[in-house]
Amino acid sequence: MSYQHQIHKKIIGMVLAGGKGERLSPLTQRRPKPAVPFAGKYKIIDFVLSNFFHSGIRNVYVLTQYRSYTLNKHIRESWNRWAGKDEFFDDISPETNSEREAWFKGTADAICHYLRFLEESDADFVAIFGGDHIYKMDIRQMIEFHDGQQADITIAALEVPQAEASRFGVFSVDTSDRITCFAEKPKTPQTIPGRTTCYASMGNYIFSRIKLIEVLKAGLDRYEDLDFGKHVIPMMLEQGDRVFAYNFTQNEVPQMQEAERGYWKDVGTLDSYFETNMDLIGVTPQLNLYNYQWPILTRPSNYPPAKTVFDDEGRRGQNLDSYVCGGCVTSGSTVRRSILGPRCRVNSYSLVEDCILFEGVTVGRNVKIRRAIIDEGVVIPDGVEIGYDHDADRARGYLVTESGIVVVSE
């Protein structure tokens, strides 16, 4: 798909990254959801920022709020490295940079804190994206669609089966994908004309800049907790603005495999977070992290290569069907179907199966762990078993999810 005629348009990005991610607790007790590690070496926010970077949009504001220090530090140490002259990936938080003293009260209210950035900009379009989903997307193709439709706002939409659509905010559209109405979690979702599927909102928006400023100012007069889904989109539909849905399944990135088409995951719960990570270690995962034409970027590291130690019967260091990051040592132990973040050490005679270990985890000797998430820097003492007796896990203070995932956090 060509979008060469679109290159002259000026675009700024704004990433909403201020959420607490309460359903991911205790992983979000010390960090915001976008800063939660994913696939070992990455943070969740690296996926949306990689999409902006590879789409050629490198003037990006990241709006942080809850426990913002860790996320701001990650952006400074990684994403500022990728920006060139007159480009930036700038983290801004309401407690330090906003002219309005209040915290964000809604998704659109977060943008309102920084209206002056929009008013001072000469950009044609503003791309407002969430910072907490896992997917690949060429954002320029969505902007090309927006420009071609002469839209005031274009909303990225997942195409989902009607039976699943009631879990989402659903658009009703005409044959040109112009949105006619919006319903939050409807009992009987309206399908796309001529299909059996429905359009569900991804929470990603392209606005014409002047229209965005206009509608935000109007919304501030009506709502204290101004939100795109609850308020801004209905307001725009009421006043007859050109509101369009962009079908995400049509988006393509270089060397994309057909299985990746339409891949988008909300890792908002511990179970969905675990499952999405585990999907990556399959033989042919739906999300391909080995596409070097569209790599996921993150903070560079100087950690040494992962290492296995000992090859004795009963004491063999081995990593099987696993992601193992730099700086890890598997010493006389077995790691199977697991993801090890940087600098993990698994000591002799231990077994780690179907687990996610964050950076700096140490597993002692004679330990057995299965179906668990181990938070950053946790030390598992010798001889402990985790994931085999959930009553014992709870007695130690560990959280156990509905599907039986054990979460160990300091």
pLDDT at 96: 44
Chain segment 328-385, per-residue pLDDT in tens: 999 999 999 999 999 999 999 999 999 999 999 999 999 999 999 999 999 999 999 9
314 is known to lie in a ligand binding site: no
184 is known to lie in a ligand binding site: yes
CATH architecture, range 307-408: 3 Solenoid (2.160)
pLDDT at 64: 86
Model confidence, pTM: 0.94
Cβ pair 332, 299 in contact under 8 A? no
- State the maximum Cα–Cα separation within the chain, in Å, rounded to a whole number: 74
Structure tokens at 35: 């800063």
| pLDDT tens track, the chain, 410 positions | 333 334 468 999 999 987 778 899 999 999 999 999 999 999 999 999 999 999 999 999 999 887 888 899 999 989 988 787 788 898 887 644 444 455 666 788 888 888 888 999 999 999 999 999 999 999 999 999 999 999 999 999 999 999 999 888 899 999 999 999 998 888 899 999 999 999 999 999 999 999 999 999 999 888 888 989 889 999 999 999 999 999 999 999 999 999 999 999 999 999 999 999 999 999 999 999 999 999 999 998 999 999 999 999 999 999 999 999 999 999 999 999 999 999 999 999 999 999 999 999 999 999 999 999 999 999 999 999 999 999 999 999 999 999 999 999 98
Q: How far apart are CA 280 and CA 286, in angstroms?
A: 8
Chain segment 210-265, per-residue pLDDT in tens: 999 999 999 988 888 898 988 999 999 999 999 999 999 999 999 999 999 999 99
Closest C-alpha among 11, 226, 203 to residue 112? 226
332 is known to lie in a ligand binding site: no
Q: Provide the H-helix boundaries in 222-265.
A: 233-238
Q: Which CATH class is domain 4-279?
A: alpha beta
Cβ pair 357, 335 in contact under 8 A? no
Contacts of 258 (CB under 8 A, 6+ apart): none
326 is known to lie in a ligand binding site: no
Contacts of 267 (CB under 8 A, 6+ apart): 24, 36, 38, 44, 132, 133, 134, 273, 276
What residue ranges do the domains of the chain occupy?
Answer: 4-279, 307-408
If you search the block for the tokens 């002219």, which residue do you land on? Answer: 99
Chain segment 322-339, per-residue pLDDT in tens: 999 999 999 999 999 999
Strand extents, DSSP E, 67-178 = 88-92, 125-130, 133-135, 153-161, 169-173
Q: Say which DSSP state 23 is in.
A: G
